[in-house]
Structure 1
């Protein structure tokens, strides 16, 4: 039986292995979440895509 695929441990060990550690600062957690989002959508995290400004327009609402 190959035991390299799964492992068992305590809840304390699992808590230490969490990706978003509570000891991280807010800035570090935001950087981690941005990295994971970029990986999920296939975006380069160093050069994010620019917003398409031609599709967005502002007009004054009159009543």
Structure 2
């Protein structure tokens, strides 16, 4: 089995900003189509976690299980 890479959030990839600055960013992206915003968010996620956007990590599907019973 191939060695599993551990991805860790790179807290230096982004900067803190004031509420007003964040509000301006939000207004800039509001005019984008939702598909383009999704691409942008995936790109930012790849920067934050340091993975290649063209080769994203695979989800480990062995840690989840499907249940057919409703939670009480």
Q: TM-score, normalization: structure 2?
A: 0.47
2:71 is the alignment partner of 1:39: no
Choose from 3, 20, 24 the match for 2:32: 24
Q: Give unmatched runs, 5+ long, in structure 2.
A: 1-19
CA distance in 2, matches of 1:27, 1:37: 15
Larger Rg, first or second structure (1 or 2): 1
- Figure out how many residues of one structure are paired with residues of the other and give that number: 47
Q: Which has the higher contact order (CA 8 A, sep 6+)?
A: 2
Query: Which of structure 1's runs of 4+ aligned residues deviate more than 6 A?
Result: none
Q: Give unmatched runs, 5+ long, in structure 1.
A: 1-10
CA distance in 2, matches of 1:35, 1:25: 16
Q: TM-score, normalization: structure 1?
A: 0.52
CA distance in 2, matches of 1:22, 1:30: 12
